[in-house]
Amino acid sequence: MFWKRFEEEIHARAGQAATEYSAWRDLVRASKRVLRAYSSSFFLVTRFLPPGERAEVEVIYGSVRYPDEIVDTFPMPEQQKLTLLDGWQEAYLKAVGQEGLRARILAGTPWILAGFAEVVRRRGIPKEHYLSFLGAMRRDVRPKPFASLEALIDDYVYGSAIVVGYFLTYVYGHAPGTRLEDALACARELGIALQLTNFARDVFEDHCRGRLYLPLDMLAQEGLDPLNYLEERNEAALKRAIRALAGKAESGYEIARKNLNVFAPGCRAAIGACIEVYQSLNRRILEGDAPVRQRVSVSPSEKFRVLPPDKYWRVPLAYAGLL
């Protein structure tokens, strides 16, 4: 299995590091590999972050990617996935109680958690946030539908996207004259918007995994039954429901754009690029008429057009592996 071999490779390398700095550098490089392999859009926008913040964001991405892969791609029974997630949570709680990156590695902590615990301790991120994230991952193992948008946000999106936005906000920092709470509130709205866009884009893919994130009341408004909503005869109505969900995301993007100045100045370009890229995808969903079984995406050229013009020079460096 790729992840097992990768864990062994990076754990051994970091465990042999002579200093804390060299161990951190090894973990950041590995996290960057994960980010680049799994999310081209987020990889691109994070290239606009200052180097220190970018490294921590890459490590955070690894910490959420691996549990997500357990749930989505590991070929094993449900109970075994839940057992793996329980063990991962125990390792995380142990890691945040330890000081020193190399000490965690030598104690057997998975490298992803060793690095993430360093960010949690360094930035003062409440450790409970990651427990909420793992709770959302457990729900994906044995999924159930959501009665309403409010239930979707409270019972799932909070753990799957909002707290991840909080992680990033503690790294980004808030602007002088503003409060951390202001930045966290903005991150909450953006996290909801990003997650709703993903749900609207991935309806068919989620169905293949036994999941339904379209709220039941939104399906009902279009006369759709959760047992047969994907039948061909229902496609027009389903598209309307999907567009309605994407429409709910629009306000979050607009709130985030208007309040971008609550974040530290050095990180605004990356956050702004994230808003532009993902809202562009959201509007493709709102305005397009692609079949439900066809995943809507934004082409590299379209992404390039919505990026900050004064940062264009970073794009070729990013794909050359120099950023």
162 and 303 co-located in one domain: yes
Residue 304 included in any domain: yes
Is residue 223 left, alpha or beta, with left meaning phi > 0 and alpha meaning psi from -120 to 50?
A: left
Residues whose CB is less than 8 angstroms from the CB of residue 31 and which lie 6 or more positions away in sequence, other chains included: 55, 58, 59, 61, 62, 112, 115
Q: Are 286 and 243 in contact (CB under 8 A)?
A: yes
pLDDT at 295: 81
What backbone phi and psi angles, to 5 degrees, belong to 321?
Answer: 80, 15
| 213-269 pLDDT per residue, tens | 999 999 999 999 999 999 999 999 999 999 999 999 999 999 999 999 999 999 999
pLDDT at 184: 98
pLDDT at 117 over 90: yes
Read off the pLDDT band of 40 (50, 70, 90): confident
Residue 319 included in any domain: no
What backbone phi and psi angles, to 5 degrees, belong to 127?
Answer: -65, -20
The one-letter amino acid code at 55 reads A
148 and 269 co-located in one domain: yes
Give CA 5 to chain center in angstroms: 23
Q: Which of 142, 162, 190 is the last residue of a domain?
A: 142
173 and 183 co-located in one domain: yes
CATH of the domain at 306: 1.10.600.10
Burial of 69 (0-12, 13-18, 19+ CB in 10 A): middle
Residue 318 included in any domain: no
Calculate mean pLDDT across residues 130-135: 98
Q: Which of 142, 170, 194 is the last residue of a domain?
A: 142
| 82-116 pLDDT per residue, tens | 999 999 999 999 999 999 999 999 999 999 999 99
Burial of 223 (0-12, 13-18, 19+ CB in 10 A): exposed
136 and 282 co-located in one domain: no
The one-letter amino acid code at 8 reads E
Structure tokens at 253: 């993007």
Neighbours of 256 (CB within 10 A): 27
Residue 317 included in any domain: no
pLDDT at 88: 98
Number of domains forming the structure of the chain:
2
Rounded distance between C-alpha atoms, residue 139 and residue 85, angstroms? 11
34 and 77 co-located in one domain: yes
What backbone phi and psi angles, to 5 degrees, belong to 158?
Answer: -55, -50
User: How many Cα atoms within 13 Å fall on the side-chain side of residue 41?
Assistant: 19
Q: Which of 85, 118, 142 is the last residue of a domain?
A: 142
Residue 118 included in any domain: yes
pLDDT at 311: 59
Q: What is the pTM of this model?
A: 0.92
| 74-85 pLDDT per residue, tens | 999 999 999 999
| 42-61 pLDDT per residue, tens | 898 898 899 999 999 999 99
152 and 128 co-located in one domain: no
| Domain interval for residue 209 | 143-310
**Mean of the per-residue pLDDT values for the chain?**
92
Neighbours of 1 (CB within 10 A): 9
231 and 174 co-located in one domain: yes
Q: Please give the DSSP secondary-structure letter assigned to residue 174.
A: B
Rounded distance between C-alpha atoms, residue 179 and residue 273, angstroms? 23
Residue 322 included in any domain: no
Residue 323 included in any domain: no
Please name every residue paired with 263 in a beta bridge, in sequence order, or none if there are none: 174
Q: Are 212 and 163 in contact (CB under 8 A)?
A: no
Rounded distance between C-alpha atoms, residue 46 and residue 270, angstroms? 6
Q: Are 23 and 111 in contact (CB under 8 A)?
A: no
119 and 81 co-located in one domain: yes
Helices (H), 47-162: 51-73, 78-96, 101-106, 111-123, 128-141, 149-152
Q: Are 114 and 132 in contact (CB under 8 A)?
A: no
21 and 94 co-located in one domain: yes
105 and 171 co-located in one domain: no
